[in-house]
Amino acid sequence: MTILVTGSSGFIGYHLIKELLKKNKKVIGIDSHNNYYSKKIKIKRFEILRKNKNYKFIKLSVVNEKKLDKIFKVFKPKIVFHLAGQPGVLYSLKNPKTYFINNILATKSICKISKKNNIDKFIFGSSSSVYGDQIKFPIKETNKENPKNPYAKTKLKSEKIVENSFKRTFTKFVIFRFFTVYGPFGRPDMFIHKFLNSINKNKKISLYNNGLNFRDFTYVEDVIKILYKTLKSFPQSRVINICRSKPIKTTYLVNLIKKNFKKKFKINKVGFVKGEMLKTHGCNKLLKKSFKNVKFTNISLGLKKTVSFYKKYGY
């Protein structure tokens, strides 16, 4: 059985494929290698994966339906993990058009071709950003969505596309809402890696909202274990949070990084930033009900592993 993963050189895509290959699965990876963040990191991830004989990479924008359909016809994947998309909350305020193309149009394309080729399972990686600011915590899947920025709005629209594409078909589908995924080989535009890069370059680090944000950090290996579980058992629920459900304040995270990095750095506290959520705190009861033996890595251990990897490889 062949598995297709979009966003194959991205942070979560890379870690998922690495796990799939470790379990001797045949994988087709699709990625456009766009320049939203350093192509160098994407190429490094790709170079590691390509060494495995069970991995076939195709450089392509998922929006290209014609070429996508050819890939399905040739390789006949039965499971699709759609992890490609344009990330970044603040960047979406500056360049909303690219989010329409890479999130909405890309999702329409992969859903259309997947449906046409009668795949068995479709797993979509969405974001906790669709919830926006909430009053009641922890946030359940039944909470009303309140997207605050183009990124979140396009992810929510993409969710609807997935649901409408497969709800009257034999294809099983699930939408996972990721809560601030971090870990080794992470995205350089995410807070932890931005922080580590700033320390390395002796740059001042900006803390938005004076460092008083709360984030429900989720270690990447925990996310991958859950995604992998869908190969054997599939959940009844169509929308599920993936979160540790233990948010921490940014200032606490900074102290943890300081403890692990052991290098002096300067901090610049910045006021409220438009489009940024003040708090993310997801409920993971439905997740734990849907899958057996779901465990989460303690933030101290996860951060220690992340910093250790960064010190060794520089990313």
Helices (H) and strands (E) in the chain — how many of each? 12, 13
Alpha-helical runs (H) found in the chain: 11-22, 39-50, 65-75, 89-94, 96-99, 106-116, 150-166, 191-200, 220-229, 250-261, 285-290, 299-313
How many Cα neighbours within 13 Å face the side chain of 19?
18
> Sign (positive/negative) of CA torsion 194, 197, 203, 204?
positive
Angle between helices 150-166 and 106-116 (to 10 degrees): 10
Residue 151 annotated in active site? yes
Q: Which amino acid is at 19?
A: E
Of 37, 151, 182, 310, the catalytic one is 151
Both tokens of 79, joined, read 């499971």
Among all residues, which ones are annotated catalytic? Answer: 151
